[in-house]
Structure 1
């Protein structure tokens, strides 16, 4: 329905590290120039697993927003907001919960997986079971049709698509739908109306998926259709009713290759991170004391880069020339481990320098950050209210 609206969120559960930067933020920075983007602080989501330590959330929200801004997320290009400041998310979550089969929630792959991973926490809660539905409400409330996710999150997007389909099937039958749809087709002008009807017939009679995609593209180009008419025509295409909630697509993101200080994936739970804005002295010390290939007990012992966590960082930060120098020097014992680590230290500090610099302005002016978020919350609420008006009306709750 909206050819270019992207939604993505992050849970505020501690300071961001370089894994977040390479895995999420660099992608956001790219997307904000290509799509209409909404990026939100998922504070309610953080409560599903941190309900007993709310101070972690409160302390992290503003620092995380500063991290976003310092990394290059631009509030003039994207809408930044806090989930709990847009109560319509909760209302849609509640209304969707009325029609969500329990089995759908229990079969979301991450449900059992997370319970096992976080076995020290009591996650047999209603909130934890329902968090994929809250995630669906986050997406559907903005009629976002592109959601950047890694492979492991694709089932969540599929679940959201099923929820949108179920909702539209139950509530998309408005009185006089066929007549209203026919009237909307005429508004497209005779040439485009004829093309729309041809594509619709090809899809409905021959199951031609290309015709369906072409018809959707045609609708997205129409400037003179109201939101309601456009939704009707999307529904009319597939022989259903009015499409009240849009089905999102997963925008697959490349998995981050950012390794931690021990060679495992960079993660707070492994205690192997470099924070986004960590001071230069600390970064230098952490990298200098990284473990290396166990075979290199003495400076004169040759080693193998593949067995060394530092090599993993060279693959991210070093060009071919330095990688060649490292491989030759390590395997021949021509260079020591501290020499090998120096280019990595310099590259990390160079990457962090503009981030730390940009962060200063926001740290020195907390009101600037709060005002940016207040503006973003207002913009997000305007979009959310629009969806909720339609949802309430079809569910028999439109009392205006």
Structure 2
């Protein structure tokens, strides 16, 4: 078989469920912005088909989809440089997802940790939707529908990219082709996993009990500053080396956040603040966060006040996405032997 030369292309997406947090921004969107306009063709998606693996209020889902799109745009995703759309407008995702359901093995799905985390065990898992169980193969279709060569992900999503690689390899092996690339996960930088501001052992979540646990991307400047100043820390001064953060989850989280917001390494942050108390560091972190995040929340509000403009951008992005997706899906059908007149 002839080896393909794949266009360097990035694909990634965010699920519209419950609102964006700073974790989405630092762990995903900021990295998406950094990758556009460089060596990669960049395709970014609001993965609304993934959201309905659990029940969603229809009106709230539409609003949440627009909010994620607003978050992308307000953070610096340029719909001219990148392709931006919502998944449901490109039916090829679901079509390739079915083919990959038939390529993936049940044993592979049984190893996916996120289903166990979300559905529970035993009787509880039996009540989960089939979509929640099978959605990793749809995620593989999201990526491979564009022959994406790279996917920026957090550490907790690496398993999904590994599954995508397994599906690509099995498809290529079964049909004696080299059609799908073995996508590379891109995991780099501080704050790839932003933790709870009240408990540094837990991931920052949209569904946490207290709003003080997280920075919402719609929070205004005063709220952002207040949350950081009240974030949980510990009794000791900041260490002078990264090793000193090892058993201090809250301190490590706040240093990670500062580093990610300021495009620094943790070593550079500690070179400036090592030996200092929280009375100096937390106000500096609050000021930095307000400088970086408040303009985004202001722009998101402006965009959300004009939903027709968001819809126009997503529709145009879907047209551009289909220009890439349709030929790849057509070739997939031909390889599999599915008759299309």
Instruction: Confirm whether residue 248 of structure 1 aligns to residue 183 of structure 2.
Output: yes
Aligned to 1:279: 220
Question: Would the alpha carbon gap of residues 83 and 321 (structure 1) be closer, same or farther in structure 2, given more than 3 Å must change?
Answer: same
- Over aligned residue pairs, what C-alpha RMSD do you find? 3.0
Structure-2 residue corresponding to 1:39: 44
Q: CA deviation at 1:160?
A: 1.9
Indicate how the Cα distance of structure 1 residues 314 and 5 shifts in structure 2: closer, same or farther if over 3 A, else same: closer
Q: Does residue 137 of the first structure (1) align with residue 144 of the second (2)?
A: no
Distance of 1:310 and 1:170 partners within structure 2: 50
Match among 323, 332, 341 for residue 273 of structure 2: 323
Residue 150 (structure 1) shift = 2.8
| Preserved CA contact (<8 Å) 1:144 1:248 | yes
Gaps of 5+ in 2: 239-244, 260-268
- 1:387 matched to 2:328? The reply is yes
Equivalent position SS for 1:268: coil
Q: Is 1:349 the equivalent of 2:290?
A: yes
The 2-side partners of 1:115 and 1:64 are apart by 25
Q: How many residues align?
A: 313
SS in 1 for 2:304: helix
Q: Which residue of 2 aligns with 1:70?
A: 74
On the 8 A contact 2:28/2:153 being kept in 1, the answer is: no
- C-alpha contact 1:47 1:54 (8 A) present in aligned 2: no
Q: What is aligned with 2:310?
A: 369
Are 2:38 and 1:30 equivalent residues in the alignment? no
Distance 1:386 1:288, change over 3 A: same
- Which residue number in structure 2 is paired with residue 110 of structure 1? 114
Partner of 1:378: 319
TM-score w.r.t. length of structure 1? 0.69
Structure 1: 5+ residue stretches without partners:
172-240, 296-302, 331-336
Partner Cα separation in structure 2 for residue 79 and residue 57 of structure 1: 21
For residue 98 of structure 1, report the CA deviation from its aligned partner: 3.0
Partner of 1:396: 337
- Within 2, Cα distance between the matches of 1:292 and 1:155? 31
Name which of structure 1's ranges 36-45 and 387-396 shifts more when overlaid on structure 2: 387-396
CA distance in 2, matches of 1:156, 1:389: 25
Query: In the alignment, is the contact (CA less than 8 A) between 1:263 and 1:312 conserved in 2?
Result: no
Normalising by structure 2, we get a TM-score of 0.80
Q: Residue by residue, what CA displacement relative to the aligned partner does 1:374-400 show, whole Å, maximum 9, x if unpaired?
A: 111011112111012112223332333
- 2:20 and 2:206 in contact (8 A); partners too: no
The answer to whether the Cα contact below 8 Å between 2:71 and 2:217 also exists between their aligned partners in 1 is yes
Q: Secondary structure at the match of 1:397?
A: coil
SS in 1 for 2:120: helix
- What is the CA distance between 1:243 and its match in structure 2? 2.5
C-alpha distance in 1 between matches for 2:252 and 2:103: 51
Distance 1:341 1:249, change over 3 A: closer
Task: Name the CA distance, whole Å, in 1 between partners of 2:56 and 2:296.
Answer: 32
The structure 1 residue matched to 2:204, chosen from 266, 280, 298, is: 266
The Cα offsets for residues 21-78 of structure 1, whole Å up to 9 and x where unpaired, read as 1111111011112210111111111111x22545542321101111111111111111
Q: Which runs of 4+ in 1 moved over 4 A?
A: 52-56, 119-123, 303-312, 318-322
Cα distance change, pair 170–313 in 1 and its aligned pair in 2 (3 A) = closer
